[in-house]
A and B are shown apart, each in its own frame.
Chain A
């Protein structure tokens, strides 16, 4: 215990008396921290922009067309199947979800591209509203819009909006009343607007072939379970009893949103490489420093400091430098994040940032490990022989 306080004393004196040098290293760590946190936040932001609706959906399982590889736009499930699913044991409720992309006309000839999501009012997939009311009726000309639409335009709850959709070779226009708003519903890199299924089928983008006949399918079916722990049983029963479907839990569903996994792994690779660079920079600095300190460490050992004290002093020094750097970097990241508009896909989410900060706090000790071993192994005889 006393050795620990001696080690703390030595390392603190050294850091304080060389504060310029150590502060520079802390600044390097701060910059690396900033970079890593931004990469993590970008990953989170991009992931959100692509799949937020799915990851926050009020359901436990999603049902896809068999062999659709869990790709929502290429999956088609018959509406009659939704009703069969609803009758299965263990299924509390089920709702079809259909996706498309349309534009909202804004003043001054501007448009806002949004994901048009058709849901069954009151069923899984229909998001909870934060303002106004939920959708009602199969065919009603109303929409619930994502808070993100409000942030990016002047559209408010109660307004009428005009939707432009490409149907066949023509642009068609539809007017909907915004009855409510919801939040955190980005999908496919666009904010979402939700409409009842019947309305969706009328106003969505259509190919020539789809023009005349109403659609009898949805893309996927969201299921809520009576007992979440029975997810596997229900999933097995579903695939056994209903033809041509496959079932995914929400995590699988999110990972298979087109582009999601590729993007996340790219971003993660970047973060890992940045961390590695950090390890090398810190490692290099402390290693060079230890080489310069061989005589003084020799003296310390020759006058009776034990290996624990010498090694611990090196460890504490690295911890001080890293912690300071990470603290500065995180504060900078936080301050910068306040200046971003909502359209920038950078999201500081507690978990991702915490993981990044933990990893960053480890890079100091990881990088300094070699130098610590080196310090411990310096022979006290060095104090004499180098003199």
Chain B
């Protein structure tokens, strides 16, 4: 298997009034194509910061990030923008969608950004949304959809352009448990089918039952990695 993403000794510190905060403290890990990983940890442990660095939205203080073997550190701002639209798929906790575009248009936007929007892309976008159970909602605006439906549109948008890495920040935070399970399950299936590298930040350990690996952070450090199926299921059951 090829490594889609490599993180080597990444440190991110912020200056604040009370001194220096190490939001991410010497974290290293790698994710393969076709692997779905959960990033868990208490509030303030550095999960969102880590995700922002992986998405090239934030530069690390030190350390290396490689996506498809390419180091983010040496990139110009324009190259980072290009990387974000070509190699990364992103879902945010809320405010995910562009409010004046329909579900279908939000997904197609990713193709337009990459100048890859054509008839086939339009068909694929609709198919992907149907796959996520939104076949009846293609022409709805975000305001006409529930939180869970919006999350699923965001997931479709994060996948449609075949990115190397798919990053999801708390995709289930605004959903009830039943919906949350559904969304994560479909998400996991799509990651696996399309051979993407997926990283999902979550507060909700129960969601971990659908992932291949769990990275646990505390105080900016990567304190534990759960790899075996039993360990992960135990964690998911809260034992």
Contacts and interface: CB of A to CB of B under 8 A. Distances in A.
Interface in B67-112: 78, 81-86, 88, 90, 92-101, 105, 109-110, 112
B165 to A, nearest CB: 13
A6 B113 contact: yes
A303 interface: yes
B51 A384 contact: yes
B223 interface: no
A8 to B, nearest CB: 11
A2 interface: yes
Nearest to A386: B95
A387 B92 contact: yes
B95 A303 contact: no
B100 A381 contact: no
B112 A6 contact: yes
Contacts of A301: 81
A384 B48 contact: yes
Residue among A17, A301, A386 with the highest chain B CB neighbour number at 10 A: A17
Interface in B215-232: none
A349 B100 CA distance: 42
Given A303-B110, A306-B78, A381-B57, A18 B100 contact: yes
Interface in A333-387: 380-381, 383-387
A385 B52 CA distance: 10
A304 B85 CA distance: 4
A6 B112 CA distance: 7
A-side interface mostly:
helix
Interface stretch (A138-146, A255-263, A292-300): A292-300
A13 B141 CA distance: 12
Contact of B86 (A13, A300, A304, A385): A304
A305 B112 CA distance: 10
A381 B96 contact: no
Interface residues of A, number: 26
B95 A387 contact: yes
B32 interface: no
Given A17-B141, A299-B95, A384-B169, A304 B100 contact: no
Interface in A142-181: none
B115 interface: yes
B211 interface: no
Contacts of A6: 112-113
Given A13-B105, A384-B92, A300 B98 contact: yes
Given A13-B101, A303-B110, A296 B92 contact: no
Contact of A384 (B57, B86, B88, B99): B57
A112 interface: no
B196 interface: no
Contact of A296 (B55, B83, B95, B112): B95
Contacts of A298: 95
Contacts of A17: 100-101, 141
A298 B55 CA distance: 13
A95 B41 CA distance: 99
Contacts of B90: 302-303
A9 B109 CA distance: 10
B21 interface: no
A89 interface: no
Contacts of A386: 95
B169 A387 contact: yes
B52 A381 contact: yes
Contacts of B88: 304
A306 B95 contact: no
Contact of A303 (B51, B94, B100, B113): B113
Contacts of B96: 299, 387
A196 to B, nearest CB: 73
B157 interface: yes
B58 interface: yes
B57 A380 contact: yes
Which of A6, A298, A300, A304 counts the most B-chain CB atoms under 10 A from its CB?
A304
Given A299-B95, A303-B157, A383-B92, A14 B112 contact: no
B99 A296 contact: yes
Given A305-B113, A385-B48, 11 more contacts: A6-B113, A17-B100, A295-B95, A300-B98, A303-B84, A306-B78, A381-B52, A383-B92, A384-B51, A384-B169, A387-B93
Interface of B: 48, 51-52, 55, 57-58, 78, 81-86, 88, 90, 92-101, 105, 109-110, 112-115, 141, 157, 169-170
8 contacts: A17-B100, A17-B101, A17-B141, A296-B98, A301-B81, A302-B92, A381-B58, A386-B95
